[in-house]
Structure 1
Amino acid sequence: MSTQQATLLPATSAPGLRVPRVDRRRQYARRARMSDLLVTLLWASGAAATALYLAYGGLADWTSTAGVVTGLGIIAGLVGTDFVLVMLLLAARVPIIDRTVGHDRAIATHRRLGKPALYLLLAHGLLLLVGYGMSAGIDPIAEIEAMLALPDMPLAFVAMGLFIAVVVTSLVAVRRKFSYEGWHLIHLLSYAAVIFAVPHQFSNGGVLAAGTWQQVYWIALYVTALSAIVVCRFVTPIVSTLRHQITVSGTETLSPGVVSIHLRGRNLRRLRSEGGQFLIWRFWTGKTWYHSHPISLSAMPSDSHVRITVRDLGAGSQRIGRVPAGTRVSMEGPYGLFSDVARTSPRLAIIAAGIGVTPARTLLESSPLTPGEATILLRAGDRDEMYLWDEIEQIAAAKDATLYRSVGHRGAGVSSWLAAEDAARGVSLQSIFPKLMHSDLYLCGPSAWLDAVEAEARSLGVPEHHIHAERLDW
């Protein structure tokens, strides 16, 4: 589907190409079991917090209405805090979580837990004010002053305010009003909130009394969460950065607002990145050092060279597109399951739009493919958005893959993610990928566009675990 019509590129074979067989079903079953275990542990942690509280005398205070209200407030606080620590673990980029569910799904779960955790913590504060007020015979507002006089309680109120700020700014409608850099800075307050909340748990009420399994549980949970953050977010990236010594070797403008950044370093193959994965990059210049950017590789690394391609989507990405040669670069990763590792089916289907071609290109480049195994559709609103298409064409031809194009503004109806003219001619997901039900479908592009592709795939009955999506948002 070029600008006006479908265009099937001629296929060529790679003589002597030998592709190793991979037991994809066994790989998927192993990941599914681990994923189920992680989900079970997530919910079990909240149940354990409640059970331990009740086991160590919590029910003894439930002898009056005030005691019941206070007890419910304590449970809400324990489960809410447990969820917050689980959220921190999900966002810590722990390797086992990333390899099992992928960074995107881990962050999606992290976001879904945000509002329940906040509601539980708000309920914790409100129920304790009411319960303590009923016991003391004063109204909840007056009880605030009494609570602030307790050791470490002012810090707990500060922590609550920080949690509210983090969750509110994470709501989609609110998040869109911030730049990525501003939102990320506010989100770092969640670490401060946890630190401020810790003291009152151990100094007030005797809930986490010394010598109990309850105290052991909470200390272990805090140590696990904070250790994961320190090791995975700080120590490992620093070691990797020092090992590979990456600097900018030059930039290349592909079209207005789109730049490839060429990087050089040492032993870059030891990054062990899979095609389709991304890294978190930080460029050490006066205007870019204070924020990092998740960017996919746009070419697989050699020992000394790697490339990323960025589109100007805001002030931050605009600045990194102009970094001078010689700029030092630090990185975290690689991350994500948008790679051949996640495949479960004998065939490969790839659809990429706009700058989403970058992970699609490296996925195609690194995947071991038999002739005819892969089909790719590249989507662009106009010819200025055909980034790296010539490279993808060459890789597709070398791997005997089928390649289509769809260029033009979106149409309406079921296939609204296609160019309007293609959709009007009856082109659809099923016509492009006739063996879709036996394929893994990899999608990368803007969220609204990607949602439309996913909706059509699901309407055709494509299993959820066959769909692998990489959204170009934050």
Structure 2
Amino acid sequence: MNTQLLPAPTAHKGPDGAGPRAGSGERAGSGRFAGQHRLRMLRTDLLTVAAWASMAAAVALWLADGGAASISSPASAVTAAGIVAGLVGMDLVLLMLLLAARIPLIDRTIGHDRALEFHRVLGKPSLYLLLAHGLLVAVGYGMAEGLDPVSESVALWVLVPDMWLAFVSMGLFIAVVVTSLVAVRRRFPYEFWYAVHLLTYVAVGTSIPHQFSVGGLFAEGTWQRWYWLAICAVTGAALLYFRVVQPLAATSRHRLTVSRVWSIAPGVVNIEMTGRQLNRLTGNGGRFFVWRFLARGLWWHSHPFSLSAEPLATGPDGAGTLRITVRNLGRGSAQLASLRPGTKVAVEGPYGLFGTAARSRDKVVLIGAGIGITPLRALLETTPFAHGDATVLLRGSTKQELYLSDELLEICRRRGVRLFHLIGPRARWDSRSWLPADAVRSGYSLAAYAPDIAEADVYICGPNRWAGNVIAEARAAGAGAEQIHHERFDW
């Protein structure tokens, strides 16, 4: 069932349901958000250049300190190749840690999920390079001493100080990468995977001593030594500050306490919290926070949830309330329905680019399904647009799955937003469809509901497969990649 709750312009839909084509909309980064969009793209380019430059610097400094001069035989050439592989591999590992450090500059430039995607992509290359480092160095040293690689590795372990730590580090890196593979990761609960993933820090820590004590590679007074000391110190400081100090400071600053928990649908609850200085959290609709509810059996579970309403700060010192909406999607989230008033809450964030900071156009289209509707409700409350320049599409198999729909209806009325409820089972015969079956039979498409989608920012939140179908149709309707905003709040 397609329910149009608030007026919309006539749908410009041809026989095939097609809408505006690529290139028919506004130019990239137009209107009031043009400057913001250009600045974010510039930051993206600069971060990309910095990442490549760090790898180039690692090799260039090795060359500047006479690395190439040491190549005088096949054995030394193999050893040199191993050293270069190790330098680049270690640089990639430090880049991975920086991408996972939740640094605001990175988060506000490419978004949390894209940063973690790059983090995962770098995992295998870094491991392969470190494995190549170990193998090539063992082969090179063995060739020089007349030993096979296994015998040389045993000799290095036994005779060379700190080298055993390098072998331990390699084993830890292998464990982290293997457990990060999707097929393996899904077999374990998040807490187990997270605990194993913390071994990355141990792996980096155990890899550092042999770099500075073996072979004089980072000898006193060399540029290499200062470079690696600097990037290791910067990486460690970023992790400590943004992953530990800032969350503790935010928790202390806001002093959040659960004030009320109530059901809004089967398996779905609103959790209201009171706190102070909540005015510092306003304007973050759509972005997510990491919550820890400090109750028995719950404090060690972290939950990435976005706000479902803008914080309401009405008292002195920004005192007021904020709210999240949680659906029972597993044991951890199911326990939150039994939270008691008075429970203290630790908070981290906000994170992600699913908010106004990602805007590039004056018009906006918001598309949500199920519990993915809730961050759209908070975003719709504050993101700027003119009367008639926004369209909201809410998707659910039943009316009960359109969570917070009454609140959304009121906001849409107040702000002049076109609103559609798209209710009904999916079209099982069409794996690419995200619309209800009756809409598909009638020839409807995304462009039928949002004919100006090629000129708008498109925010999509819902199950990943469903969201993928929406993204594909938005691209086909003329929306460019920079206009489509979709962030996964998963691990």
Q: Which TM-score band applies after superposition, normalised by the shorter structure? A: over 0.9
Residue of structure 1 equivalent to 2:48: 39
1:233 and 1:22 map into 2 onto residues whose CA distance is 36
Residue of structure 2 equivalent to 1:9: 6
Q: Which amino acid aligns with 1:116?
A: P
Aligned to 2:301, the other structure's residue is in SS state: coil
Residue of structure 2 equivalent to 1:314: 330
User: Identity of aligned pairs, percent?
Assistant: 52
Aligned to 2:201, the other structure's residue is in SS state: helix
Does residue 105 of the first structure (1) align with residue 121 of the second (2)? no
2:117 and 2:46 map into 1 onto residues whose CA distance is 18
Does residue 366 of the first structure (1) align with residue 382 of the second (2)? yes
1:187 and 1:406 map into 2 onto residues whose CA distance is 40
Deviates more, 1:92-101 or 1:312-321: 312-321
CA deviation after TM superposition for structure 1 residue 236, in Å:
1.2
CA deviation vs aligned residue, 1:347-380 (integer Å, no higher than 9, x gap) = 1001111111111111101112211110011111
> Is the contact made by 2:453 and 2:478 (CA closer than 8 Å) also made in structure 1?
no
Aligned to 2:487, the other structure's residue is in SS state: strand
Among 453, 456, 465, the residue aligned to 1:439: 456
Among 172, 176, 195, the residue aligned to 1:185: 195
> Is the contact made by 2:32 and 2:361 (CA closer than 8 Å) also made in structure 1?
no
Aligned length: 462
Among 379, 387, 395, the residue aligned to 1:379: 395
Residue of structure 1 equivalent to 2:363: 347
Map 1:280-291; keep pairs closer than 5 Å: 280-291=290-301
2:34 and 2:281 map into 1 onto residues whose CA distance is 26
Distance 1:382 1:182, change over 3 A: farther
2:332 and 2:78 map into 1 onto residues whose CA distance is 48
Aligned to 1:470, the other structure's residue is in SS state: coil
Residue of structure 2 equivalent to 1:70: 79
> Is the contact made by 2:353 and 2:487 (CA closer than 8 Å) also made in structure 1?
no
CA deviation vs aligned residue, 1:406-462 (integer Å, no higher than 9, x gap) = 122222448511112211211111111101110001011111111111122223342
Among 226, 244, 261, the residue aligned to 2:236: 226
1:111 and 1:447 map into 2 onto residues whose CA distance is 18
Residue of structure 2 equivalent to 1:85: 94
Map 1:92-241; keep pairs closer than 5 Å: 92-149=101-158, 150-241=160-251
> Is the contact made by 1:253 and 1:260 (CA closer than 8 Å) also made in structure 2?
yes
TM-score where L is the length of structure 1: 0.94
Residue of structure 1 equivalent to 2:480: 463
Aligned to 1:291, the other structure's residue is in SS state: coil
1:158 and 1:318 map into 2 onto residues whose CA distance is 39
Aligned to 1:403, the other structure's residue is in SS state: strand
Aligned to 2:220, the other structure's residue is in SS state: coil
Aligned to 1:43, the other structure's residue is in SS state: helix
CA deviation after TM superposition for structure 1 residue 471, in Å:
2.1
Q: Which amino acid aligns with 2:330?
A: G
Among 339, 344, 347, the residue aligned to 1:328: 344
Distance 1:408 1:180, change over 3 A: farther
Distance 1:433 1:399, change over 3 A: same
2:32 and 2:394 map into 1 onto residues whose CA distance is 29
Map 1:424-435; keep pairs closer than 5 Å: 424-435=441-452
1:6 and 1:312 map into 2 onto residues whose CA distance is 27
CA deviation vs aligned residue, 1:25-82 (integer Å, no higher than 9, x gap) = 1110011111100011011111111111111111122221111111111111111111
2:145 and 2:335 map into 1 onto residues whose CA distance is 59
1:272 and 1:188 map into 2 onto residues whose CA distance is 32
1:415 and 1:430 map into 2 onto residues whose CA distance is 15
Aligned to 1:320, the other structure's residue is in SS state: helix
Structure 1 regions of 5+ residues with no counterpart?
A: 12-20
Map 1:391-406; keep pairs closer than 5 Å: 391-406=407-422
Aligned to 2:272, the other structure's residue is in SS state: strand
Q: Give RMSD over aligned pairs.
A: 1.6
> Is the contact made by 1:10 and 1:397 (CA closer than 8 Å) also made in structure 2?
no
CA deviation after TM superposition for structure 1 residue 271, in Å:
2.5
1:332 and 1:211 map into 2 onto residues whose CA distance is 41
Aligned to 2:407, the other structure's residue is in SS state: helix
1:356 and 1:384 map into 2 onto residues whose CA distance is 14
Residue of structure 1 equivalent to 2:37: 28
2:370 and 2:411 map into 1 onto residues whose CA distance is 18
Aligned to 2:485, the other structure's residue is in SS state: strand
Deviates more, 1:178-187 or 1:242-251: 178-187
Distance 1:380 1:348, change over 3 A: same
